[in-house]
Amino acid sequence: MDRILSNQNSHVKAWSKLATKKGRQENRTYLLDGWHLVEEAVKAGAKFHAVMATEEQMAEHLPDVPHGVPAFEISAEVAKHIAGTNTPQGIFAEISLPDKTFNPSYVHDGAWLLLDNIQDPGNVGTLIRTADAAGFKGVVLGAGTADVFAPKVVRAMQGSQFHLEVLNGDLNEWVDALTANNLPVYGSQLNESAKSYRDVEASTQFGLIVGNEGQGMSDVLAEKTTANLYIPLQGQAESLNVAIAGGILMFSLVSGN
């Protein structure tokens, strides 16, 4: 097992580049930070390229890593450098980006969350994690939405990318396809004249669009929906965080919750 103590090591430089979208696309891999995420990847049968950990973390978890995966023992300083934080958990994995295409015209069932220009990585990761918890079948990231494999998104997802479909797509095509396949599509709006989310019957087959933090969903998408939904606010706050609003709608709309 190689032991790496310097941030100038070629492996460390390569792993650090995975913090950028360009680096991930060029290498077709991304990083997981922390044993929980690494364990989720093991359970999901993800393709591992490397595992790197401090001495303590390596001793504890290496037996649970797939056989034959290159392992690197790293110093605490290298761990901080790779993670880009001062408090990393001390174990990382480099795994392959998923490589698949998905045609929305084949979607005839399930609950699908559509993210329209959600720019904050924490919100994107939290929405995906909540969709997983609410029993959604998949999440589609539209134009302008933060990269699902950016480090902050990956940390916020907490492994949910291994539990449901997470795809990039043209939301206009998705809405058209879901509608053509007789699945209602709901939008979320900060608009008191929209339909109250409480007046929608829960089901297991629909699409839900959640829009940009400041501007909401696009006017084009808003015109295509089956109904646009509003969450009545009881206090003096003008609006809800998009991830909170999305969570309320997801758990309300999916039957069985």
Domain spans in the chain, listed from the N-terminal domain onward: 2-96, 104-253
pLDDT score at 86: 85
Return the amino acid letter for 14. A
- Answer whether 172's CB lies under 8 Å from 224's CB: yes
φ, ψ for residue 2, nearest 5 deg: -75, 145
The verdict on pTM exceeding 0.75 is yes
* Residue type (1 letter), 217: M
State the Cα–Cα distance between residues 45 and 153, nearest whole angstrom.
21
Tokens representing residue 172 in the block:
């206009």
Give the bridge partners for 216, in sequence order: 212
Q: Report H helices in the chain.
A: 10-17, 21-27, 35-44, 55-61, 76-83, 121-134, 151-157, 171-180, 219-224, 242-253
* pLDDT score at 230: 94
**Smallest Cα–Cα separation from 245: which of 193, 207, 199, 209?**
209
Name residues of the chain where pLDDT drops below 70.
257
The confidence score (pLDDT) of residue 257 equals 66
CATH code of domain 2-96: 3.30.1330.30
pLDDT at 238: 86
Q: In the prediction, which pLDDT does 1 show?
A: 78
Helix (H, G, I), strand (E, B) or coil at 204: coil
Residues 71-102 have pLDDT tens digits of 999 999 999 999 988 888 999 999 999 988 89
CA distance 221 to 117: 12
What fold, for 104-253?
Alpha/beta knot (3.40.1280)
Order of all β-strands in the sheet with 91-96: 2-4, 71-74, 48-53, 91-96, 29-33
